[in-house]
Amino acid sequence: MRHAALETFLNRNAASLRGPVAVILAEDPIELDSTISHYRRLGFDDILVLGAVNGTQAEPGLHPLPGDLDTLEDSVAALNRIIRAIPGRWLAYSFNAEYLYFPRCETRSIKDAVAFMEEERRTSVFTYAIDLYPQDLDAHGNGVDLDSAHLDASGYYGLERFDGPEALDRQVDIFGGLRWRFEEHIPWERRRIDRISLFKCEKGLEIDTDLRLNVPEMNTINCEWHRNMTMAVMSFRVAKALMHNPGSAEAIDSFSWGGSRRFAWSSEQLLQLGFMETGQWF
């Protein structure tokens, strides 16, 4: 079994997990410690770390669970096993070297955000995955550096999502960042930057490899009556992948361009750039 440690843990402990639960999918060890620390600061009481967890020590609320995350399908299978185990609990997930941000997260906790979404009668939060990259690839050839992290301040666009000839209500496909600028190195099915990073688990709910859920309403950007809070995942994952792949690594000598801005690690900056919004959360 590819996720035997996860299966054993859930059989013993799923009922005692305190929500909202964070899941970190460690595809490799890069910036795993900083990712864990970030989710701790957001106020998650229980954090499950799956995959490349060598060196990560179990602590109260921190649960390293080794397993194979060689493919996106592996990660999705693990997430779906967790979803089935904790119905009624909110779950947030990211990969290593990804950092969840929501409005005013420096002064408000993830529990505050979830409580607000419950008041809004929403069971999911639309999220933009914003690519981060180092200023100098010669100095940071793995595509990751927190101290010089930059992002694209422009170059994003959205399209209505269709099912055949019909546009889906309040569903959109968002594009931009490194996936757009270096699209020749990114398969078409991996170019979207939207995902649902925080949602309430329920019976029958599943996530697919396109990082959408199988309940259409949970993939919507807003409810029917007004705009809702959205979130952002600040992610080195694409930069890391482009530098890991020999073909793209040889072709790319810099991620910086005229639209690059230094990331201030601030929710206020992300609000100003339009990468998330408060909705009715004042």
pLDDT in tens, 197-214: 999 999 999 999 999 999
pLDDT in tens, 239-258: 999 999 999 999 999 999 99
Average pLDDT over residues 83-108: 97
Q: What is the pLDDT of residue 172?
A: 95
User: What is the C-alpha separation between 87 and 48, in angstroms, rounded?
Assistant: 16
Q: How many angstroms from the chain centroid is the CA of residue 28?
A: 16
Domain positions in the chain:
1-96, 99-282
Beta strands in the chain (DSSP E): 21-26, 46-51, 62-66, 90-95, 98-101, 124-131, 150-152, 157-163, 166-175, 194-200, 231-235, 260-262
Q: What is the pLDDT of residue 275?
A: 97
Cis-peptide, bond into residue 20, ω within 30° of zero: yes
Assign 1 a pLDDT band (cuts: 50, 70, 90): very low
User: What is the C-alpha separation between 122 and 113, in angstroms, rounded?
Assistant: 11
Q: What is the pLDDT of residue 282?
A: 77
Average pLDDT over residues 217-246: 95
Assign 222 a pLDDT band (cuts: 50, 70, 90): very high
Residue 185 has pLDDT above 90, yes or no: yes
Query: Mean pLDDT in the chain?
Result: 95
pTM for this predicted structure: 0.96
pLDDT in tens, 133-160: 999 999 999 999 999 999 999 999 999 9
How does DSSP classify residue 207? B
**Cβ atoms of residues 94 and 233 within 8 Å:** yes
Q: What percent of the chain has pLDDT over 70?
A: 99
Assign 225 a pLDDT band (cuts: 50, 70, 90): confident
Average pLDDT over residues 259-272: 98
Residue 164 has pLDDT above 90, yes or no: no
Distances (CA, A) of 34 to 103, 145, 223, 270: 20, 11, 33, 20
| Degrees, nearest 5: CA angle 30-42-227 | 110
Q: How many angstroms from the chain centroid is the CA of residue 34?
A: 15
User: What is the C-alpha separation between 9 and 12, in angstroms, rounded?
Assistant: 5
Tokens found for residue 280: 């009715």
Higher-pLDDT residue of 204, 55:
204
| One-letter identity of residue 73 | E
Q: 1-96 adopts what CATH topology?
A: Rossmann fold (3.40.50)
* Helix runs in the chain, H state only: 4-13, 32-42, 72-85, 110-119, 177-181, 237-244, 246-251, 267-273
pLDDT in tens, 8-48: 999 999 999 988 999 999 999 999 999 999 999 999 999 99
What's phi and psi for 112, nearest 5 deg? -60, -45
